[in-house]
Amino acid sequence: MRDVAVIGAGVTKFGERWDDSFRDVFVEAGLKAVQDAGLTGDRIDEIFVGNMSGGRFVNQEHIASLIADHSGLALEGHVPATRVEAACASGGLAVRQGAQAVSSGLSDIVVVGGVEKMSDVQSDQSTEILAAASDTEWESFYGATFPGLYAMMARRHSHEYGTTREQMALCSVKNHSNATMNPTAQFRREISVEDVLNSPTLADPLNLLDASPITDGAAALVLAPAEDARRCTDTPVYIAGIGQASDAIALHDRRTLTTVEATEVAVERAYSSAGIGPGEVDVAEVHDCFSIAEIIAVEDLGFFEKGSGGAAVEEGLTELNSRVSVNPSGGLKACGHPVGATGVKQVAEVALHLRGDAGERQVDGAEVGLTHNVGGTGGTAVVHVLSREAPR
């Protein structure tokens, strides 16, 4: 097995992109990534695309073929193109499949992308479409939406560990603050704890400003064998570890509401293959689809003891250039959450920090980064550990 490097990254502006089509949004990200790698399209051996629900958001399946075509990779080169789906973890799984294609030796240069165009449907439809990430026969059929499911996790976390509404709100506040420094973020404005607490209730205790938004956007990476990476770029970033895990898709079938076991298992697999522990992570993009999800994530990823995530946020231990810089991009909350793109954007963001290219929001001296992407309420989790240093 070969080691794998990220040699290019591109993220589109996230937001409501009324004037751009699904295919255009993706191609914009892909081009950015390929140009960032200093390559041309004829070098690409294969593409993987993460997308949750093109079939329902934009009436389009067979997405990887569409994208290969509109990227100019189909009529010329007939490049293999594969869509990967695991709800909001689709992008993270696409990264993993792309890395596997390179590590196996089957492909050399692989483009991995993620895309979602969510604003072409009415917002009540978005909630229904996203609910298809749950166990629809046993959750959404009975009225459970994602805000409702995460609200139950929040309630239980508060009950068991005393996590407060303010601590949850502080995740959103921090992520909005980080997003002010990210040119591609959807919401580039500060908010306060009061703003969060006074925003409309979605599913008590979670309010509108605890939740990630509906977003159009795409992200892409260029992957290459580690041994060739320095021929393309002076600042390759290496994929040091990958872990993916499943759990019961329905929340009511899990052992606990306050730990996402798929995260625990995925990160253990990733740390183990990278040969590192949570104390070595400088920067992390974690899956904050709701504020409570960030608190649970920083515990499950081993950054803080179970139950102490809320306090850690309150103490500022997840702010930029603190103990571990969590969601410098603004996270799903403020950077935006085009569901199929998120897992790829996370890797692109961490790569920027490890390269020293993150501008105003740069995490100083970042050497090791981590991405954490979740499908549904935790039926799927995938973690990547990234490093400035080439694997031994």
Q: Could you say which residues in the range 69-128 bind its own copies, by CB under 8 A?
A: 69, 73-75, 78-87, 93, 96-97, 100-101, 103-106
Binding string, 13-32, against its own copies, x = CB under 8 A? Answer: --------x-----------
Q: Rounded to 5 degrees, what are φ and ψ at 24?
A: -65, -40
- Please select the residue that binds its own copies; options are 28, 116, 135, 349, rule is CB under 8 A: 135
The one among 235, 246, 321, 322 contacting its own copies by CB under 8 A: 246
CB-side neighbour CA atoms (13 Å) of 266: 33
Torsion of the alpha carbons at 182, 185, 190 and 195, rounded to the nearest 10: -160
In the bound complex, what is the minimum distance in angstroms from residue 111's beta carbon to its own copies? Answer: 12
Among residues 41, 55, 356, 391, the one that binds its own copies under rule CB under 8 A? 55
Nearer to its own copies, 21 or 164 (CB): 21
Output the smallest distance, CB 190 to its own copies, in A.
Answer: 34
Active-site hit among 157, 176, 287, 337: 337
Q: Is 43 in the site for its own copies (CB under 8 A)?
A: no
Per rule CB under 8 A, is residue 380 in the interface with its own copies? yes
Q: Is 4 in the site for its own copies (CB under 8 A)?
A: no
Phi, psi of 38 (to 5 degrees): 70, 25
Q: CA of 199: how far to CAs of 2, 160, 187, 359, in Å?
A: 49, 25, 16, 31
Q: Compute the distance between CA of residue 344 and CA of residue 94 in angstroms, rounded to an integer.
A: 8
Question: For this structure, is 78 an active site residue?
Answer: no
Helix (H) or strand (E) holding 160: helix 146-161
Position 347 contacts its own copies (CB under 8 A): no
Rule CB under 8 A: say whether 188 interacts with its own copies.
no
What is d(CA 294, CA 168) in angstroms, rounded to the nearest whole number?
Answer: 8
Binding mask 358-377 for its own copies (x = CB under 8 A): -----------------xx-
Q: Does 145 help bind its own copies (rule: CB under 8 A)?
A: no
Q: How far is the CB of 268 from its own copies (least distance, A)?
A: 10
Smallest distance, its own copies to C-beta of residue 130, A: 9
C-alpha separations of 204 from 128, 160, 175, 198 in Å: 19, 17, 21, 12
Supply the DSSP symbol for 363.
Answer: P
Decide: is 244 part of the binding site for its own copies (CB under 8 A).
yes
Size of the site for its own copies (CB under 8 A): 66
The distance of closest approach from Cβ of residue 133 to its own copies in the complex, given in angstroms and rounded to an integer, is 4
SS3 of 240, please?
strand
**Site for its own copies, residues 272 to 311, rule: CB under 8 A:** none
Residues β-bridged to residue 369: 283, 386
Helix 291-300 to helix 165-179 angle, to the nearest 10 degrees? 90
Instruction: Say whether 206 sits in a helix, a strand or coil.
Output: strand
88 among known catalytic residues: yes
Compare residues 95 and 298 and give the one whose CB is closer to its own copies. Answer: 95
Give which of 372, 367, 358 is closest to 386, Cα–Cα.
Answer: 367
Cβ-Cβ contacts under 8 Å for 12 (sequence gap 6 or more): 25, 28, 29, 32, 184, 217, 218, 219
CB nearer its own copies, residue 96 or residue 388: 96
Three-class SS of residue 239? strand
Positions that interact with its own copies (CB under 8 A): 1, 21, 52-56, 58-66, 68-69, 73-75, 78-87, 93, 96-97, 100-101, 103-106, 129, 132-137, 140, 244-250, 253-255, 261-262, 265-266, 375-376, 379-380
List the catalytic residues.
Answer: 88, 337
